[in-house]
Amino acid sequence: MEPNLTGSDNGRSSARSPKLSYKFQRLRERLRAAIESGELCGKLPGERQLARRFRANAKTLSKALTDLAAEGLLERSIGRGTFVKGSIPQSAAQDRWLLVCSPDDLETPLVNHLLRENPQIQVATDTSTMRPSFLNPFRAVITFDKATPDEFLKDLVVRNMTVVLVGREPTTYSTHAVLVDRPLGATRLAREMLTQGHRRFFVVNRPDQPFMLTAVRQTAQRFDPSAVVDGGNPADVVAAVEAGATAIICDSRKDSVVVKQRLERARIDIPGRVSLGAVGSRNAEVVCSGYYVNPIDKANAVLQLLRDPQASHRPTTLWLNGQYIDCGTITAMGEMAGTIPFDNEDVAEGRRL
């Protein structure tokens, strides 16, 4: 008698084999076995490391992980990684946050520090396709992408979600904010430059937020009403120097990089002909002297707001003061080529501010 090929064991093997005809399906079963045996547990290694470990290419691995996630065996999320289902600590699972940022911010120290502090953070770079149901699991939303639509933020407030804006002025009373105190930094820079004899300033600032320009003008008015303070964008700096400006103050580290490049292309010596300072966040290398906020301090300020049990009832704005970093781009008028030295009375008057 011929053996019964429809028996329980042979039948299952015969039925399953067509499903394993692709590489990603075979890899999927290897990963499943590793998870069931405990070889893989908790948070899985990064995809590159997993691909090397199982000798598979990235595309094959991604398909296998997607299948296992669809079955509910894994939990995958941009920004926090891939976890074996049920392995995320319960305390973290109850405190899910959504972080909205631009793609350029994904690898910044600020994002990395927040992810280390709360692995349950999910990162998104686009809000245009988010459905209301997607937001339901989150208790709080952090956004430091200035392009995040106001309508999206208003919807979060209507849902009674805790919202923290980073580097963005709040437009409603119901949101928190963590901001660099740029006007204070600009005031400090202006005072230092004024005591060094500078009387012609150019402030690089955003048209919709002229706070730094106002701060420098007020400082100059108290020190010397005859001082001239103009403002504009990075494209205007060369013309400003040609018109007599000897001190430039930028409202961000990013703008200071652009300004310095423009001045160097125009062969305007820094600080031989013009002093350059800035106020902002130290997300990357700084190129000029100024007051900068450490991104870790900014991340800790966000965590402070989100971990405050009264946060949902007491919206707060935290203003962060930067630390001065000297890059040698600011000097006294008397040390600049082709300038007239100021006298000691100017210095004494400036220090009395």
Task: List domains and CATH numbers for the chain.
Answer: 20-84 (1.10.10.10), 90-174 (3.40.50.10190), 183-294+320-351 (3.40.50.2300)
Q: What is the pLDDT of residue 168?
A: 87
Lowest mean pLDDT among 10-14, 34-38, 152-156: 10-14
CA dist 70 → 64, 67, 249 (Å): 10, 5, 53
Q: What is the pLDDT of residue 238?
A: 97
DSSP 207: T
Highest mean pLDDT among 153-157, 191-195, 310-314 belongs to 191-195
Backbone angles phi, psi at 210, to 5 degrees: -85, 30
Which comes out higher in pLDDT, residue 11 or 43?
43
Q: What is the pLDDT of residue 79?
A: 54
Give 90's pLDDT tier (boundaries 50, 70, 90): very low
Which comes out higher in pLDDT, residue 196 or 346?
196
For 163-191, write each residue's pLDDT tens digit.
999 988 887 778 899 999 999 999 999 99
Q: What is the pLDDT of residue 329?
A: 97
Residues in Cβ contact with 263 at an 8 Å cutoff, skipping those fewer than 6 apart: 237, 238, 241, 270, 274, 276
Q: What is the pLDDT of residue 11?
A: 41
Helix/strand/coil (H/E/C) assignment for every residue in 137-199:
CCCEEEECCCCCCHHHHHHHHHCCCEEEEECCCCCCCCCEEEEECHHHHHHHHHHHHHHCCCC
Backbone angles phi, psi at 249, to 5 degrees: -125, 125
* 171, 146 contact by CB (below 8 A): no
Cα separation of 138 and 155, whole Å?
13
* C-beta neighbour count of 223 within 10 angstroms: 20
First to last CA, the chain: 107
Cα separation of 71 and 55, whole Å?
23
Which comes out higher in pLDDT, residue 342 or 180?
180
For 220-273, write each residue's pLDDT tens digit.
999 999 999 999 999 999 999 999 999 999 999 999 999 999 999 999 999 999
Q: Which amino acid is at 56?
A: A
Give the strand pairing for 200-204 and 317-320.
unpaired
Q: What is the pLDDT of residue 309?
A: 64
